[in-house]
Amino acid sequence: MSQIKKTCLYCQTENISDGDIQQCKHCGMDLPEKHPNDRNLKVKFFVKAFWLIALFCLIMVFYLPR
Ligand SMILES: [Zn+2]
């Protein structure tokens, strides 16, 4: 059985569906097929972390003696 956690776009309540539930338990609105919010947040975090690490490496390349 695949349990999918879906976050309601309208009231931000987490619904755990077994594949049949299409409406939010809290407000009754239709649940989204995918998680656009979660994916965007993860991508943003990944890009931020990537640039931080890249910047750190660049600073270290010039800072450390060879
Ligand atoms: Zn809802």
What's the pLDDT tens digit per position in 20-56? 668 888 888 887 776 655 667 778 889 999 999 999 9
Question: For residue 8, how far is its CA from the centre of ligand 1 (angstroms)?
Answer: 5
Total structural domains within the chain: 2
At 61, list the tokens.
């390349």
Beta strands at 14-17 and 4-7: parallel, antiparallel or unpaired: antiparallel
- Domain ranges, residue 2: 1-33
Question: For residue 14, how far is its CA from the centre of ligand 1 (angstroms)?
Answer: 8
The answer on 26 and 8 residing in a single domain is: yes
Higher-scoring residue by pLDDT: 60, 41 = 60
What pLDDT does 16 receive? 81
The answer on 18 and 42 residing in a single domain is: no
Neighbours of 25 (CB within 10 A): 14
The answer on 42 and 15 residing in a single domain is: no
The answer on 20 and 41 residing in a single domain is: no
The answer on 41 and 25 residing in a single domain is: no
Question: For residue 34, how far is its CA from the centre of ligand 1 (angstroms)?
Answer: 15
The answer on 28 and 42 residing in a single domain is: no
What pTM was computed for the model?
A: 0.39
Burial 27-59 (b: 16+ CB within 10 A, else e): eeeebeeebeeeeeeeeeeeeeeeeeeeeeeee
